[in-house]
Chain A
């Protein structure tokens, strides 16, 4: 059964069509990545799913119930954390969690705040004001806040942005564990594609307000035919660069390393050519296409289209 279904969501701001007939669904215990370049319509879609933006057309259902007619009942089991919202600056972390806990039906609020503080390692900062925290600590408090009602559906917009790598890793593991234990369904946006690949079961890619792909991260990456060949060459780097430029191979230099972008199929013939021309190298690594390549490919298309729409009369 689908925990969440967004049907034909459309949002117009005047003449601008921000989201165009987007439909998506989320299963119980599924983590769905919502990706797309800036301005593609992700935030607008999330806002409509949360009920804080009225769609021009379309409907949102949670647990088979319409959000607009069962808002109170639904939002009791949903929560949200985002980098584009703030927590009240003048309040302490404890006060923030405390007042938010009263917005939900929770049996023992003090115990819940204590539990959440332990889970998200907030004990040391509980009595500090939000304005005294680092960006990473604020993000951690914001994510913690979104767990205050132990939601069944969680919408997380860049939950690990500005976190130290170890804390980001902790949050990712926490989300995966939470999903495992409580079958929490999560919609997740991030600009860290490696993170999306690690955490998400499925990815919906939005571009120009439309869904252009809906698949697993692996399958999306497979649609990209190019791979990256990285060579470390101490003696022949200049000649390898010369060769790449001659045969029009996209390349990037970093110190004594060159990264060549080519189609997966062309890799054997590339290596053969280098060998036949005595262009030796000390190390080689081949990076298969990743979700990041897919994202970049889509974003390139988005930028081209945007430029075209700006220049066209």
Chain B
């Protein structure tokens, strides 16, 4: 792997971000809307009963942490789509750029943008609801990384689908990640899910992460068992998603990059 090539790809998408209002809106506007809308809703509901602060904390922290996962996958899927729309993939792959370097660039972008978007959302949470999401920052760090990992494998999987089926599945770039949201128990405890959904949640790594995060917020302790399970599942899915992405790219080369674009 050559760092300068990874940096070249990162530059390309950063320039795009700089010029694209769409991408900036995705990064800052929607997280803010989510926080304002759901934060106020949960504040109202909570005000009707006891444990008001806990309910608001669960929803607001769920929104902020979800951004990490969402951002991790978004940098894969939407950037791939941008290059398909722009017919720019050929410019990249007639160069010595390797598939692994392309993936490394997406992962790095996911990491950096997750920090920016999450940081921004935490600030909004602090200003609007006086919630310090990262008051237990160190304990949350492993969980944030696990969410990013989940975002990566979802991104690789959806990116692979876009390569196989082209722009007819482009909607998945934004929507696919929300399939795992209900099973991740982002805003509610896992026990709130019906039995059949709990069985699915059992194999969704982010469900362990959000459970563990709530424990951090409420009890100020991290359940390492959950961390280990989520990490193992993430590694498994990451390997499978990488294999799928690689085989999808091979299929693209069988058909030809020109035809794919």
A: residues with CB less than 8 A from B are 13, 43-44, 47, 50-54, 71-73, 75-76, 78-80, 82, 84-92, 95, 98-105, 129, 145
Quick one: which of A54, A82, A104 contacts B96, CB cutoff 8 A?
Answer: A104
Q: What is the chain A residue whose CB lies nearest that of B16?
A: A90
Contacts of B20 in A (CB 8 A): 90
B45 interfacial by beta-carbon distance below 8 Å: no
Quick one: which of A82, A87, A103 contacts B95, CB cutoff 8 A?
Answer: A103
Main secondary structure of the interface of B (DSSP, over half): helix
Output the least CB separation between B261 and chain A (Å). Answer: 8
Contacts of B168 in A (CB 8 A): none
Q: What is the chain B residue whose CB lies nearest that of A72?
A: B96
Q: Are B94 and A100 in contact (CB under 8 A)?
A: no
Contacts of A101 in B (CB 8 A): 8
Q: Are B253 and A52 in contact (CB under 8 A)?
A: yes
Our count of residue pairs bridging A and B at CB distance below 8 angstroms stands at 102
Quick one: which of B11, B19, B82, B87 contacts A102, CB cutoff 8 A?
Answer: B11
Q: Are B86 and A100 in contact (CB under 8 A)?
A: no
Quick one: which of B4, B96, B256 contacts A47, CB cutoff 8 A?
Answer: B256
Q: A103 with B253: in contact, given A71-B96, A80-B90 (CB under 8 Å)?
A: no
B: residues with CB less than 8 A from A are 2, 4-5, 7-9, 11-12, 15-16, 19-20, 82-83, 86-88, 90-98, 250, 253-258, 261
Q: What is the chain B residue whose CB lies nearest that of A80?
A: B94
Q: Are B257 and A52 in contact (CB under 8 A)?
A: yes
Contacts of A71 in B (CB 8 A): 96
Q: Are A72 and B91 in contact (CB under 8 A)?
A: no
Q: Are A87 and B253 in contact (CB under 8 A)?
A: no
Q: Are A87 and B94 in contact (CB under 8 A)?
A: no
Q: Are B88 and A75 in contact (CB under 8 A)?
A: no
Quick one: which of B11, B253, B261 contacts A53, CB cutoff 8 A?
Answer: B253
Quick one: which of A82, A102, A129 contacts B7, CB cutoff 8 A?
Answer: A102
Q: Are A104 and B95 in contact (CB under 8 A)?
A: yes
